[in-house]
């Protein structure tokens, strides 16, 4: 299988190696880190993990520490005696804090470790979402963690990231989905996910969690899988054990067949805008035992300033990026597919807006909208619907962007000072499709290296 984790961006490689590294250092140039990506046999984190909490949350912190131990992580509950340890991660637990003052000590302890946080280290803040009926003080305490997490993300360097697990609906801190999300954020699989606070609700705990092959026995359909991000998603789902059906337009059939044969999947040449695309997808998965995971990745660009936009340019983008997803979801829901896990590709453009991309942004914003509305519908049948919003990803498409624009997208906007890889998007999708992420529903997970573009 192709090496999906090699950085394709020459600048990032240059400032991390030899003579060019020295020059970059002296000139004070931005020095993006080489991000650590997942390999099956590597340890979960790059070093020991510290779990800190306020006093009220100590029980939850202990529960998490216990889970980390079970994953063979070197877990510490205090910095005492740590000496010159380089932390692989710090988990701040504030789930039971009831006043802003109560969290000061834990937060400052976290602060005291940041200078000793290893490259590609992880900060994960575990908190509870403010909910109706919270007292103002509790609501303030809980909401505070969101801005805090994003700010920590912006202070971290050397490929380290800060993300948040935000428990909702009374989910237990050691419920399967809370632990699964924590593990995702601690792992190298979240290399390009930074500054994200992901709400996690209660979930059915699956028996025997398989962390190596989380998708074993599952059947996944990936649209737009002939190349780029779609092909990376297909490869990653296959790596995680899924039987993958790759879908793309007939014209892309040659590379689609190559992807299918590489991952021992099956190819279906199908235009997702066809009226019966959902039915065709059901037919194509029947001989594999039915569909478990659907990744709506197919998407097109027809950039034009709105003033110059032709109907064909607008309509094509809406048809492929948005209307097709609605129709396919409707057909799958009507067929009563149980436990269906849907992940749709949104985009940071859909959140922040982008000049020349009114059509694209409408479609991607629309994806976020239908994901929220589809979530309760699929939940009735035990499924989930989520979206992933990639930021600047190094693909054939972004390689065609003019140099200056590309460099702004890569270096200046994201905290990680680089573009992500298709693999990074694929990892987030594999996580959201996995049994352990069952408690994550109706959410948008950004894979953007903490791009400042946003609402």
Partner 1 sequence: MSTTPSPVPSTREAVIIGGNRIPFSRAGKKYVRTSNQDMFTAALEGLVARFGLQGERLGEVAGGAVLKHSKNFNLIRESVLGSSLAPTTPAYDVQQACATGLEAAIAVTNKIKLGQIESAIAGGTDTVSDAPIVVSDRLRAALLDANHAKTTGAKIKALLSVRPKDLAPATPSTGEPRTHLSMGEHQAITTAKWGISREAQDEIAYNSHQNLARAWESGFFDDLVTPFKGLTRDDNMRPDTSLEKLAKLKPVFGTKLGESATMTAGNSTPLTDGASAVLFSSREWAEERDLPILAKFVDAETAAVDFVHGHEGLLMAPAAAVPRLLARNGLTLEDIDFFEIHEAFASTVLTTLAAWEDEEYCRTELGLDGAFGKIDRSKLNVNGSSLAAGHPFAATGGRIIATAAKLVAAKAAETGRPARALISVCAAGGLGAVAVVESV
**CA distances (Å), origin 149, targets 36, 113, 129, 139, 333:** 21, 15, 13, 16, 37
Cβ 235 to partner 1 shortest distance, Å: 14
Tally of CB atoms within 10 A around 339:
16
Of 274 and 452, the one with the shorter C-beta distance to partner 1 is: 274
Please state the closest distance from residue 293 (CB atom) to partner 1, in A: 17
Q: Is 251 or 306 the residue whose CB approaches partner 1 more closely? A: 251
Q: What DSSP letter does each residue of 366-433 carry, written as one string?
A: HHHHHHHHHHHHHHTTT-EEEEEEE-SB-SHHHHTS-HHHHHIIIIISBTTSSPBPHHHHHHHHHHHH
Give the shortest CB-316-to-partner 1 separation in angstroms. 18
Residue 90 and residue 380: Cα distance in Å, rounded? 36
Binding residues vs partner 1 (CB under 8 A): 243, 250-254, 256-258, 260-261, 264-271, 274, 286-288
* 3-state SS class at 198: strand
Structure tokens at 8: 């394709």
Q: Which CA distances in Å does 369 have to 194, 275, 375, 387, 432? A: 23, 22, 10, 10, 18
Task: Yes or no: say if 52 and 91 are a contact pair by the CB < 8 Å rule.
Answer: yes
Residues 6+ apart with CB under 8 A from 287: none
CB of 142 to partner 1, least distance (A): 48
Taking CA atoms, 31 is separated from 13, 28, 35, 188, 196, in Å, by 10, 8, 12, 20, 22
Catalytic residue of the set 11, 38, 192, 360 = 360
CA distance 439 to 389: 19
Q: Least CB distance from residue 258 to partner 1, whole Å?
A: 7
Residue 314 main-chain phi, psi, to 5 deg: -65, -50
Helix (H), strand (E) at residue 251: none
Q: What is the DSSP letter of 357?
A: B
Nearer to partner 1, 120 or 266 (CB): 266
Cβ proximity to partner 1, 15 vs 277, nearer residue: 277
- Based on the residue annotation, tell me whether 11 is a catalytic residue of this protein: no
Name the residue with tokens 């046999």: 41
Residue with smaller CB distance to partner 1, 106 or 268: 268
Our CB check for partner 1 shows the closer of 209 and 258 to be 258
Q: How far is the CB of 257 from partner 1 (least distance, A)?
A: 4
**Measured from the CB of residue 435, what is the shortest distance to partner 1 in angstroms?**
23
User: What is the rounded CA–CA span in Å between residue 252 and residue 257?
Assistant: 9
Residue found by looking up tokens 């879908």 in the block: 247
Which lies closer to partner 1 via its Cβ, residue 168 or residue 273? 273
Any idea which residues carry the catalytic annotation?
360
């Amino acid at each position: 299988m192709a090496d999906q984790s090699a950085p394709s961006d020459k600048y990032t490689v240059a400032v991390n190696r030899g003579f060019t590294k020295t020059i970059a250092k002296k000139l004070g140039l931005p020095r993006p880190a080489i991000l650590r990506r997942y390999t099956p046999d590597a340890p979960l984190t790059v070093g020991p993990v510290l779990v800190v909490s306020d006093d009220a949350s100590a029980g939850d912190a202990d529960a998490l520490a216990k889970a980390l131990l079970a994953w063979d992580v070197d877990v510490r509950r205090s910095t005492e005696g740590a000496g010159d340890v380089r932390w692989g991660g710090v988990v701040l637990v504030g789930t039971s804090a009831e006043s802003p003052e109560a969290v000061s000590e834990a937060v400052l302890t976290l602060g005291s470790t940041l200078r000793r946080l290893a490259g590609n280290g992880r900060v994960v803040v575990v908190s509870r979402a403010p909910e109706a009926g919270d007292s103002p003080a509790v609501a303030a305490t809980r909401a505070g963690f969101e801005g805090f997490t994003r700010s920590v993300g912006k202070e971290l360097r050397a490929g380290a990231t800060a993300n948040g697990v935000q428990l909702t609906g009374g989910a237990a801190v050691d419920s399967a989905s809370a632990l699964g999300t924590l593990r995702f954020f601690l792992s190298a699989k979240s290399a390009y996910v930074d500054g994200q606070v992901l709400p996690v609700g209660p979930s059915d705990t699956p028996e025997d969690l398989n962390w190596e092959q989380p998708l074993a026995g599952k059947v996944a359909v990936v649209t737009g899988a002939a190349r780029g991000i779609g092909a990376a998603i297909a490869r990653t789902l296959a790596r995680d054990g899924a039987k993958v059906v790759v879908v793309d337009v007939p014209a892309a059939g040659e590379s689609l067949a190559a992807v299918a044969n590489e991952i021992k999947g099956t190819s279906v040449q199908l235009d997702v805008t066809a009226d019966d695309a959902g039915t065709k997808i059901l037919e194509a998965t029947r001989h594999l035992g039915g569909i478990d995971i659907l990744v709506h990745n197919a998407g097109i660009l027809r950039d034009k300033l709105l003033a110059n936009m032709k109907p064909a340019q607008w309509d094509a983008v809406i048809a492929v990026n948005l209307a097709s997803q609605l129709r396919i979801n409707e057909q799958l829901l009507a067929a009563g597919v149980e436990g269906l896990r849907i992940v749709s590709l949104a985009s940071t453009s859909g959140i922040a807006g982008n000049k020349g991309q009114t059509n694209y942004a409408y479609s991607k914003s629309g994806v976020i909208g239908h994901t929220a509305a589809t979530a309760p519908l699929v939940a009735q049948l035990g499924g989930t619907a989520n979206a992933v919003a990639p930021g600047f990803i190094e693909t054939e498409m972004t390689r065609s962007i003019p140099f200056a624009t590309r460099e702004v997208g890569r270096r200046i906007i994201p905290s990680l000072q680089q573009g992500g890889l298709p693999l990074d998007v694929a990892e987030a999708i594999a996580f959201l499709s996995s049994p352990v992420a069952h408690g994550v529903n109706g959410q948008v997970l950004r894979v953007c290296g903490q791009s400042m573009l946003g609402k």
